[in-house]
Structure 1
Amino acid sequence: MPCVLTTVCADFDRRFAEFAFEPGFAASVDQHVAEIRSRLGADGAGLEPPAPPRDALADYALGFLDALAETGWREPVGYDYAVCRLTALSWLVNRHRFLAPRD
């Protein structure tokens, strides 16, 4: 079974391209990144906040995906709260290099 972080990145890394032409989406994802860092105790006073603990991020992603599955959520054409949250999770995984490089 693949790591939940691998799954999130496989599904939401492609959303990064939208930042260039959807500034509202980019701003929303930025706010979600800050919220996730805060929830996981990885917010800091410096210019570069510390990385959240990888295991905590994976547990959070798994819980979030489970909650979405329970509601029957499907990814919309645009973006909603869940898309922003999952894109933020993917961004954190990429930013902190939590996955091995893809071949």
Structure 2
Amino acid sequence: MVFEEGWAVKPLRWLMDEMGEAQLARMGDEPGLVAAIDQHAAELRDTVPLDKETLRDYLLGFLDELRDRGWVFDGRLDPPALRLMAVCWLARELGYLEDGRRA
């Protein structure tokens, strides 16, 4: 995961392009992954309102924390990666990436 210019302008779209599409595609082959993402998505549903702006702001804060800790996505599905995948999954399921507007 590389924080190139523009990642903070449209973070949901950036995250989906950076890791979401490829990682979410794995859900069809890995039932345990489905359960893990569902658990993270449920925690998000219970923690923050899931309107587009709040989910985007949550993602920005979470990414800032990961950057401060020096976390880098290396393909392993550790808790931060699963949380990011849950954000991608929610953004896609809620239609925040399909309306043609910046996410």
In the superposition, the TM-score normalised over structure 1's length comes to 0.81
Partner of 1:73: 71
Partner of 2:26: 18
**Offset at residue 101 of structure 1 (A):** 4.2
In the superposition, the TM-score normalised over structure 2's length comes to 0.81
Partner of 2:40: 32
Q: Percent identity?
A: 34
- 1:1-103 equivalences under 5 Å are 1=6, 2-11=9-18, 12-41=20-49, 52-99=50-97, 100-101=99-100
RMSD in angstroms over aligned alpha carbons?
A: 1.6
Unmatched runs of 5 consecutive residues or more in structure 1: 42-51
Name segments (4+ residues, structure 1) moved above 4 Å: none
Unmatched runs of 5 consecutive residues or more in structure 2: 1-5
Aligned residues between the structures: 92
